[in-house]
Amino acid sequence: MSDVQKDWLCDPTIPEPIRTALQSGARLERIELDSEGHFWHEGERIADARISELFHRSIQRTPGGSYLLVVAPFSYPLVVHDVPHWVTALALEPSDSPSAPPRVCIRLSDGSEEELALDTLRYEPGRGFTCWVKGGTMPARFTRPCYYALAEYVTEADEDCAGPQSPSDGSSAAEKPGRLTLVLGAARRPIPVAAGREHTGLKDADRARSSRD
């Protein structure tokens, strides 16, 4: 039994048919979502756009943290290598109050739309922006065009000017605010930079991303 299958069995909220199949030793075909948002089946990339779109719309997460493809009445475990959702479109819309900053509205890889939860926005050097979606239940990563679109509203300042601040969502101490600030009208919001990799600036990150795309 693979480590992934052991993790599924450790999830008390995994659907009972999947648990029964794993415990009986039944072979489950491997379906994966890679770090670029592509689906794979048994080591072969799924090229059919209709199937890929269906799978993107079918991703769910158990309370225990396991990812599933749910196409009623069937559920099937999914291996997610990075994030389950991607931000594929981004637009600024006026707020209800004239004095309030504009809202950032995003479209996800499953076709749904929602307002960006600004307090969940993070920057990962070399990997771009991430946020939490679906009511804070799943992470999402910005596609390259959306990364550039959001970067238009991000400024960089010296660390001694930015000052230390704590993320408003109570995130782990492994993340710390960096020198990035999101500017929406008169509102300014620091963007935490994920720890573990050196922040070399948005322009250098642009070059790193371009070299992979």
Q: 97 and 12: one domain? A: no
Q: 148 and 71: one domain? A: no
Question: What is the pTM assigned to this prediction?
Answer: 0.79
Q: 105 and 197: one domain? A: yes
Q: What is the pLDDT of residue 84?
A: 97
Q: What is the pLDDT of residue 178?
A: 52
Domain boundary among 45, 80, 115: 80
Q: Which residues of the chain have pLDDT under 70?
A: 158-178, 196-213
Q: 200 and 155: one domain? A: yes
Q: 60 and 164: one domain? A: no
Q: Residue 9 sits in which domain range? A: 3-80
Q: 95 and 199: one domain? A: yes
Residue 123 corresponds to which amino acid?
Answer: Y
The CA-based angle 116-145-82, given to 5 degrees, is 70
22-69 pLDDT, tens digit per residue, is 999 888 889 999 999 999 999 999 999 999 999 999 999 999 999 999
Q: What is the pLDDT of residue 9?
A: 92
CATH number at residue 39: 3.10.540.10
Domain boundary among 56, 80, 104: 80
Q: What is the pLDDT of residue 101?
A: 87
Q: 97 and 202: one domain? A: yes
Q: What is the pLDDT of residue 96?
A: 79
Q: 69 and 90: one domain? A: no
